[in-house]
């Protein structure tokens, strides 16, 4: 009798995470064959030679002997107090250490927060393009992801009226990713105030993914959402992985702001779910106080002459020279989201191009449709390589685009 395969959850059918998906697996196969692949698919600073600041690393090393027992499910008290201090210093008056939850990276906490919020069929407004974990976690927790468009024609910013038109009686929350992954957009205060008013009118929870809050370019300012939300329920996510280049520590957190009566049951749900997974990684939590209260080490990388600034400039210069590409200059985060100009490459398909680029030029990018958009002319790269590597990558991309365009024209001619 043949063995029947083990069935998996039907909810996985709609889940995508191409950042580490099929193309990444193919890159691994090519590496096993001896090819050197330039991996631009993941915002992983340590893989590109960035180091966690010494004072952050030293805080973990000093505290290892105190890290061998579980801590309280919300996290180490002094770490939570440091996070609350940061939020209060930014103007969020209702945050305290009892409203802070520390987890194994923001990824775990995104899942935890949506599990606490959603009933089957509840809807969550999520930007498109999005960081795909938000859509995946919504689906896996029984919800429905409703995407509000943030197209390049609007500098990857949403439109309040379009968002409002998507709200139904089943809508529970609005997700904002600011600064944005994958586009690098930084939301201005006026726009955020409009989104807060939308949440106020419809009694929605605000979910603010602010993991890139310190990675900003060209003197733009970051506006924390919780400050504008005031007494509205707002969950603000942060962590050590990006600003402090400590991805492997797996340290993230969220802080909950808003008026006490509306939050009592939600805070209890968060506490219950946090307890079920016992606690976050204890050694990494000792780094939080040092990171948030120590010297600023990110501005040297994002200011003119800094490594991230120069890699970003290499992207913008390369796109300006390109026969095929446009890009909205990223204002923050560590990515760019170039697009192929309409008509420049007939029948362009982001998935097919990404595979062609990998096979022919040994460069791994992420197709734009992986970020839950329905147009197929974009791709994401990280800004983490040195500027000279970025320039070389775009020469390879240009060659691949030329071949793709010539192939499309030849096919059309033959047809």
Q: Are residues 27 and 136 in the same domain?
A: no
pLDDT at 14: 83
In a domain, 388, yes or no: yes
Q: Are residues 157 and 175 in the same domain?
A: yes
Rounded Cα–Cα distance for residues 299 and 296 (Å)? 7
Provide the pairing of β-strand 252-257 with 100-103: antiparallel
Domain final position from 265, 293, 321: 293
DSSP 178-213: SS-TTT-----HHHHHHHHHHHHHHT-EEEEE-TTT
Q: The domain containing residue 155 runs over which residues?
A: 54-293
Domain final position from 293, 320, 349: 293
Rounded Cα–Cα distance for residues 374 and 371 (Å)? 9
Q: Are residues 279 and 347 in the same domain?
A: no
List of residues 6+ apart from 381 with CB closer than 8 A: 40, 315, 335, 336, 338, 365, 366, 390, 393
Q: Are residues 235 and 313 in the same domain?
A: no
Contact, 180 vs 273, CB < 8 A?
no
Q: Are residues 82 and 183 in the same domain?
A: yes
Rounded Cα–Cα distance for residues 287 and 391 (Å)? 35
In a domain, 289, yes or no: yes
In the chain, how many domains are there? 2
Q: Are residues 288 and 313 in the same domain?
A: no
Taking only the tens of pLDDT, the chain with its 415 residues reads 567 888 888 888 888 788 888 999 999 999 999 999 999 999 999 999 999 999 999 999 999 999 999 999 999 999 999 999 999 999 998 999 999 999 999 999 999 999 999 999 999 999 999 999 999 999 999 999 999 999 999 999 999 999 999 999 999 999 999 999 999 999 999 999 999 999 999 999 999 999 999 999 999 999 999 999 999 999 999 999 999 999 999 999 999 999 988 899 999 999 999 999 999 999 999 999 999 999 999 999 999 999 999 999 999 999 999 999 999 999 999 999 999 999 999 889 999 999 999 999 999 999 999 999 999 999 999 999 999 999 999 999 999 999 999 875 555 544 5
Q: Are residues 191 and 44 in the same domain?
A: no
- Supply the CATH number for residue 315's domain: 3.90.1150.10
Of 24, 76, 46, 40, the C-alpha closest to 248 is: 46
Q: Are residues 106 and 182 in the same domain?
A: yes
C-alpha dihedral (85, 124, 144, 271), degrees to nearest 10: 30
pLDDT at 414: 46
Domain final position from 247, 263, 293: 293
The number of residues in the chain equals: 415
Q: Are residues 125 and 251 in the same domain?
A: yes
Contact, 30 vs 37, CB < 8 A?
yes
- Supply the CATH number for residue 64's domain: 3.40.640.10
Q: Are residues 22 and 77 in the same domain?
A: no
In a domain, 3, yes or no: no
pLDDT at 170: 98
Of 33, 42, 31, the C-alpha closest to 385 is: 42
In a domain, 140, yes or no: yes
Q: Are residues 143 and 227 in the same domain?
A: yes
DSSP 372-412: S-S--SBEEEES-S-HHHHHHHHHHHHHHHHHHHHHHHHHH
Q: Are residues 224 and 285 in the same domain?
A: yes
3-state SS, residue 300? helix
3-state SS, residue 367? strand
C-alpha dihedral (187, 189, 195, 201), degrees to nearest 10: 170
pLDDT at 409: 53
C-alpha dihedral (338, 109, 186, 175), degrees to nearest 10: 90
Contact, 178 vs 225, CB < 8 A?
yes
In a domain, 197, yes or no: yes
pLDDT at 156: 98
pLDDT at 411: 57
pLDDT at 265: 95
């Amino acid at each position: 009798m043949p063995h029947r395969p083990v069935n998996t959850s039907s909810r996985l059918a709609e889940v995508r995470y191409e950042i580490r998906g099929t193309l990444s697996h193919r890159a691994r196969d090519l590496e096993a064959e001896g090819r050197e692949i330039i991996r631009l698919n993941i915002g992983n600073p340590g893989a590109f030679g960035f180091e966690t600041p010494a004072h952050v690393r030293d805080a973990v090393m000093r505290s290892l002997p105190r890290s061998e027992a579980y801590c309280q499910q919300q996290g180490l008290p002094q770490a939570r107090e440091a996070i609350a201090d940061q939020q209060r210093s930014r103007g969020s008056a209702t945050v305290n250490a009892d409203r802070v939850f520390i987890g194994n990276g923001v990824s775990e906490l995104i899942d935890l927060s949506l599990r606490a919020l959603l009933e089957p069929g509840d809807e969550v407004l999520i930007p498109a393009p999005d960081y795909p974990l938000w859509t995946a976690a919504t689906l896996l927790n029984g919800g429905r992801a409703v995407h509000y468009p943030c197209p390049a024609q609007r500098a990857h910013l949403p439109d309040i009226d379009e968002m409002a038109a998507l709200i139904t009686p089943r809508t529970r929350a609005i997700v904002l990713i600011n600064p944005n992954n994958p586009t690098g957009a930084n939301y201005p205060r006026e726009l955020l105030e409009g989104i807060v008013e939308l949440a106020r009118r419809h009694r929605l929870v605000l979910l603010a993914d602010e993991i890139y809050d310190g990675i900003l370019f060209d003197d733009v300012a970051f506006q924390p959402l919780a400050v504008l939300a005031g007494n509205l329920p707002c969950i603000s996510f942060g962590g050590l992985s990006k600003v402090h280049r400590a991805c492997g520590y797996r340290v993230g957190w969220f802080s909950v702001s808003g008026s006490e009566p509306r939050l009592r049951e939600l805070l209890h749900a968060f506490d219950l779910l946090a307890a079920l997974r016992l606690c976050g990684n204890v050694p990494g939590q000792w780094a939080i106080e040092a990171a948030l209260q120590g010297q600023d080490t990110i501005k040297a990388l994002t200011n003119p002459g800094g490594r991230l600034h120069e890699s970003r400039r290499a992207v913008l210069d390369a796109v300006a020279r390109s026969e095929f590409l446009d890009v909205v200059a990223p204002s923050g985060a560590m990515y760019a989201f170039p697009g192929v100009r309409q008509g420049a490459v007939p029948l362009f398909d982001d998935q097919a191009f990404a595979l062609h680029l990998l096979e022919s030029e040994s460069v791994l990018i992420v197709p734009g449709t992986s970020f839950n958009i329905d147009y197929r002319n974009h791709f994401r790269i990280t800004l983490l390589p040195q500027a000279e590597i970025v320039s070389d990558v775009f020469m390879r991309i240009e060659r691949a685009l030329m071949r793709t365009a010539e192939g499309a024209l030849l096919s059309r001619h033959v047809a």
